[in-house]
């Protein structure tokens, strides 16, 4: 008996059987083949029961794979719809992103740090796309939790940085000048949602953020 292998057709998600000679057989074709085999076999010399049982087992396996494929498709669609509803429900709220990326448009931006334990010295640093440090923002000593400062765009030379996309990074040390684990934060008001390329982007006054980057949400 020829070896039968499973494959999934690109784009349509249709589960098929490859017969090994270039032909492709679907579920209905396989069932018709079994019925025809039963109708035309010699009663005095029936089909080998071992081979026939193996074919039935393959058909059962194919049915199960179809069911799994359908269930996964429904789960993925349901997850996407839930994500869209979650994103839309955040419009008008104050959200905190943990990605560190933000956009500066000339207006002050709320940049922050999250600490699990207190730190003796904390500072924030604004980098450009090439990783160059363009601004230092001292915070001082800080306890565990979230801490935010309003940055007006002033750079190292005292001039305002031009509008664009930037990254905030953190530096936290204890009294022994050892590094304290920390996370950069950006707080902004969500004003809309862009659904682009299967990704839900939260639109805010500090740039666009992915839903999975949001670490906390508060009503205004």
Q: What domain range includes position 40?
A: 5-89
* Residues 102, 49 within the same domain: no
* Residues 199, 100 within the same domain: yes
* Residues 134, 182 within the same domain: yes
* Residues 80, 130 within the same domain: no
Q: Of 89, 113, 142, which one is at a domain's C-terminal end? A: 89
Q: Of 89, 107, 126, which one is at a domain's C-terminal end? A: 89
Q: Look at the block and give the residue holding tokens 């996309």.
A: 165
Tell me, what's the pLDDT at 48?
A: 59
Question: What is the residue-level pLDDT of the chain in tens, covering all 220 positions?
Answer: 434 344 443 333 344 444 455 555 556 666 677 677 767 766 666 555 566 566 666 666 766 776 666 666 566 555 656 767 777 888 999 999 999 999 999 999 999 999 999 999 999 999 999 999 999 999 999 999 999 999 999 999 999 999 999 999 999 999 999 999 999 999 999 999 887 777 788 999 999 998 889 999 998 7
* Residues 106, 58 within the same domain: no
Q: Of 68, 89, 110, which one is at a domain's C-terminal end? A: 89
* Residues 119, 73 within the same domain: no
Tell me, what's the pLDDT at 208?
A: 93
> What letters, b where the CB count within 10 A reaches 16 and e where it falls short, cover 107-135?
eebbbbbbbeeebebbbbbbeeeeeeebb
What Å distances lie between residue 66 and 7, 27, 73, 139, 219, CA to CA?
11, 9, 11, 58, 44
pTM of the entire structure? Answer: 0.63
Cα 169 from Cα 46, distance rounded (Å): 75
Tell me, what's the pLDDT at 59?
A: 63
* Residues 151, 64 within the same domain: no
CB 113 within 8 A of CB 124: yes
* Residues 51, 117 within the same domain: no
* Residues 81, 175 within the same domain: no
Q: Look at the block and give the residue holding tokens 């799994």.
A: 68
* Residues 128, 24 within the same domain: no
At 192, which CATH number?
Answer: 2.60.40.4070
Number of folded domains in the chain? Answer: 2
* Residues 195, 140 within the same domain: yes
């Amino acid at each position: 008996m020829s070896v039968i292998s499973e494959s999934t057709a690109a784009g349509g998600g249709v589960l098929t059987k490859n017969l090994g000679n270039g032909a492709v057989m679907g579920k209905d074709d396989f069932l018709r083949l079994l019925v025809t085999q039963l109708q035309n076999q010699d009663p005095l010399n029936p089909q080998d029961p071992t081979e026939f049982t193996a074919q039935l087992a393959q058909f059962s396996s194919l049915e199960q794979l179809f069911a799994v494929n359908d269930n996964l498709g429904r789960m993925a669609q349901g997850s996407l719809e839930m994500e869209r509803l979650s994103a839309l429900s955040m419009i008008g709220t104050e959200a905190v992103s943990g990605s560190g990326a933000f956009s500066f448009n000339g207006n002050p931006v709320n940049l922050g740090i999250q600490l699990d334990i207190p730190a003796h010295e904390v500072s924030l640093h604004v980098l450009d796309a090439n990783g160059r440090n363009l601004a230092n923002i001292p915070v001082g000593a800080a306890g565990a939790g979230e801490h935010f400062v309003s940055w007006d765009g002033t750079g190292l030379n005292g001039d305002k940085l031009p509008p664009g996309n930037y990254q905030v990074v953190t530096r936290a040390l204890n009294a022994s000048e050892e590094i304290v684990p920390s996370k950069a934060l950006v707080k902004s008001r969500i004003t809309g949602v862009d659904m682009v390329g299967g990704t839900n982007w939260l639109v805010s006054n500090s740039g666009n953020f992915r839903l999975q980057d949001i670490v906390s949400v508060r009503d205004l």
